[in-house]
Structure 1
Amino acid sequence: MAPVNFDGWLPIRIWKTAGQWQVDWCWFGDTPLHQPFFREAVEDALRLPFNQAFRRQTPLSALMDWQALSPGLPPSAFILHASRCGSTLISQMLARLDDHIVVSEPPPLDALLRSDLPNEERRAAIAGLLSAYGQRRRGMEQRLVIKLDAWNIGEWPLLHECFPDTPWLFVYRDPLEIAVSHLRRPGLHMVPGALGDCVLDDDLPFEGREDFIARRLGRLLEAGWVHCRDSAGLALNYSELPDAMSGRLARFFKLSAAQCELALAATAQHAKQPSQPFVVDGEHKRREASALLQARVEHCARAPYAALERLRALTISPTDPPSP
């Protein structure tokens, strides 16, 4: 039987049914992934008449078969983050570069990272998935950058095993500002019971949303600090953005001066809502925080944040732009 060709197709969903893992594919052709999140790119692609008429579903083994037939670009960088802290801004800046493939929080990767597959099979499937995302669909791509979901900091050791030489960074922010954002509009990992088992669980009763969010945020920041310390992650504070793209991040992503200039052009608009201008809102968020939220964040999240700041200070060059 001739091997199946997946030119122009990308995996959009991976799930388990009747004990078997399946992959749902969608045709993108040579359309770049320029949306803030992968799921938005999928929604746009599914509106195409072709994708409404034709769908591909395969066993999980198709990922490895396609990798063997057509190896994609290996990941050049991973972006992990504490959520609501500028990681989408970074990915959107990089998405402006024609030689970059930027895949932002793809649900299939989260599904594999948190699956019950045996470790060897899971590692092979993850490598096959990222090879599929790393296909040179336009012919000019040279680098593949993957931004993970915030809670995937718990699966970082597994991903690091798969790609031990790939550099990575952890983006974070003043925890009070993150907490206020989640009180306004909680992410999936900040809703009790919505995500399932993950590293953010402490299996203790909680009292109200402020307590729940602050405790989860503290565990997230602590995990980020531990992994940055133990596996050479670059700690980056939101306060460094966007100027870091012409300093520390330019070196991290190996960007030329022309690429930095093009990437920085993305900062005029809101990263998650490109039709709106970007507005600095840290001070407003801090003023909005209740006394209860401030107390819980200080108790649960301030220490790991301070540890990240100490670690970050060790990596800042005297020539880097100062944080505001």
Structure 2
Amino acid sequence: MQLQADGALDLDRLLARLADDAPACAALADHFRDEDFTVAAEAVAAGWGLSPDGLGERLAGRPVLRRQAAPPAGWLPIAVLPAEDAVDWAFFGARRLTESFFADSIEAVRFSPLNRLLRLRTPLAALDGLAGPTPDGLVFHMSRCGSTLLGRMLGAPTAATVLSEAAPIDQVVRADLPLAKKVALLRGVTAALGRARGAGDERLFLKLDCWHAMAFELFREAFADAPWIHLYRAPEEVLVSHARSIGMQMVPQAVGPAVFGLAAPLVPDADYQAAVLAAIGEAMLAAFAADGGGLLVNYDALPGAAAGRVLPHFGWSPDATEAQAMAAAALIDAKAPGQAFRPDGAGKRAAVDPAIRGACEDRLDGLHRRLEAAGAERI
């Protein structure tokens, strides 16, 4: 019995030590088969004079390890849960975030043996004052308008990281907390996500969810000096895209109408979707008028506008290798990286039905013209 107790205690000691030892975690993260991982973890433990019992059971889903301080760089927050006073972390090591969305990057690592063995949770206070970078640029957008393409271009050079619609950021934005607390959490979670870990450490960009336009003041309070852009597109093309495959921002049960200052619709039809896009566009127009750090970019100007306007706005003069990586990224379908990019504007315009046309006339055509005019005035 004593040997079993000692073995269980050694497992706890192993997990606690691993949580603070990023190089040891990085070595273990290279093992993807449970059998190989267990052998490697036992070797690490032996080197530390430990003989842990229960690695297999832990891999099968034992409770999380709770700690007070943020783990070292290499660990990234994957969920911020204000109602539970909790931040969940996963080990990425020096793995680049090459996926189009942060959610896909999480899925690539969360079921690895290391992240099943060592599931970390801290209180929100672990993010307070965490040292890390502030964003080099913020990407706002109206949805379905080239933001994923631009994000993949910005993240193509190995020295850059793009946090694309990262859930931990959205969970802070939509939390029911005082503004000052949200500002502190937003800074902390961004610092945690962007800390130097040997992967894309020179530049950091936030590609935000489209409804974050409604939280512009929060982002401005948190990152007062960060340049920002707003991407937009011909509204009928955006609505056709949502008609074909509806985005969560158009589903009232997923993103509440109150986020956009709207009442709950009887049916989330083309008119409601147009109202959502109008709320985003009006918020961005107001921000652009009040703030000198913005740039308005029409989808039709991509990908050329990335080098011609966006990069200079973000203060980045890429070298030849970086420019080549971005140009290569522009040739690939941003949401289906195994396929080549094919323009789809003409096909979407041909698919506009009377409901979409009417919704655009009522709510979006005038807004689109104002966006075009405002952007042209500042070129």
TM surpasses 0.5: yes
Note the C-alpha offset of 1:16: 3.5
SS in 2 for 1:102: strand
Within 5 A, what are the aligned runs for 1:162-181? 162-181=222-241
C-alpha deviations, 1:138-196, integer Å up to 9, x for none? 06621110011000101111110111111000001000000010111111111133212
SS in 1 for 2:158: coil
Q: How far apart, CA to CA, are the structure 1 residues paired with 2:115 and 2:146?
A: 32
Which residue number corresponds to residue 47 of structure 1? 111
User: 2:318 corresponds to which letter in structure 1?
Assistant: S
Q: How far apart, CA to CA, are the structure 2 residues paired with 1:190 and 1:263?
A: 31
The verdict on how the C-alpha distance between 1:3 and 1:293 changes in structure 2, with shifts beyond 3 A counting, is closer
Q: How far apart, CA to CA, are the structure 1 residues paired with 2:245 and 2:298?
A: 22
Q: Is the contact made by 1:75 and 1:143 (CA closer than 8 Å) also made in structure 2?
A: yes
- Return the match for 1:268 from 302, 326, 331: 331
Within 5 A, what are the aligned runs for 1:270-285? 270-285=333-348
Within 5 A, what are the aligned runs for 1:8-87? 8-17=74-83, 20-64=84-128, 67=130, 71-87=131-147
Q: Is the contact made by 1:72 and 1:131 (CA closer than 8 Å) also made in structure 2?
A: yes
Are 1:297 and 2:357 counterparts? no
Q: How far apart, CA to CA, are the structure 1 residues paired with 2:213 and 2:345?
A: 24
TM-score norm. by structure 1 comes to 0.91
The verdict on how the C-alpha distance between 1:105 and 1:204 changes in structure 2, with shifts beyond 3 A counting, is closer
Which residue number corresponds to residue 255 of structure 1? 317
Task: Tell me how many residue pairs correspond in the alignment.
Answer: 310
Are 1:183 and 2:246 counterparts? no
Q: How far apart, CA to CA, are the structure 2 residues paired with 1:248 and 1:14?
A: 34
User: 2:190 corresponds to which letter in structure 1?
Assistant: L
- Return the match for 1:104 from 128, 149, 164: 164
Q: Is the contact made by 1:219 and 1:301 (CA closer than 8 Å) also made in structure 2?
A: no
User: 1:291 corresponds to which letter in structure 2?
Assistant: P
Q: How far apart, CA to CA, are the structure 2 residues paired with 1:81 and 1:2?
A: 36
Note the C-alpha offset of 1:219: 1.6
The verdict on how the C-alpha distance between 1:55 and 1:222 changes in structure 2, with shifts beyond 3 A counting, is same
Are 1:244 and 2:308 counterparts? no
Q: How far apart, CA to CA, are the structure 2 residues paired with 1:4 and 1:88?
A: 30
User: 2:369 corresponds to which letter in structure 1?
Assistant: A
Q: How far apart, CA to CA, are the structure 2 residues paired with 1:282 and 1:159?
A: 31
Q: Is the contact made by 1:91 and 1:102 (CA closer than 8 Å) also made in structure 2?
A: yes
Which residue number corresponds to residue 150 of structure 1? 210
Give the structure with higher Rg (CA).
Answer: 2
The answer for unaligned runs of 5 or more in structure 2 is 1-66
Q: How far apart, CA to CA, are the structure 2 residues paired with 1:243 and 1:307?
A: 22
Q: Is the contact made by 2:163 and 2:205 (CA closer than 8 Å) also made in structure 1?
A: yes
Q: Which has the higher contact order (CA 8 A, sep 6+)?
A: 1
The verdict on how the C-alpha distance between 1:64 and 1:302 changes in structure 2, with shifts beyond 3 A counting, is same
The verdict on how the C-alpha distance between 1:165 and 1:50 changes in structure 2, with shifts beyond 3 A counting, is same
Note the C-alpha offset of 1:74: 1.4
Q: Is the contact made by 1:236 and 1:312 (CA closer than 8 Å) also made in structure 2?
A: yes
C-alpha deviations, 1:68-101, integer Å up to 9, x for none? xxx1121111000000000111110111112211
After superposition, the CA RMSD in angstroms is 1.8
The answer for unaligned runs of 5 or more in structure 1 is 317-324
Are 1:209 and 2:269 counterparts? yes
Q: Is the contact made by 1:250 and 1:260 (CA closer than 8 Å) also made in structure 2?
A: no
Structure 1 segments (4+ residues) deviating >4 Å: 1-4, 204-208
Bigger mean CA deviation after superposition, 183-192 or 197-206? 197-206
TM-score norm. by structure 2 comes to 0.78
Which residue number corresponds to residue 198 of structure 2? 138
Q: Is the contact made by 2:257 and 2:263 (CA closer than 8 Å) also made in structure 1?
A: no
Which residue number corresponds to residue 189 of structure 2? 129
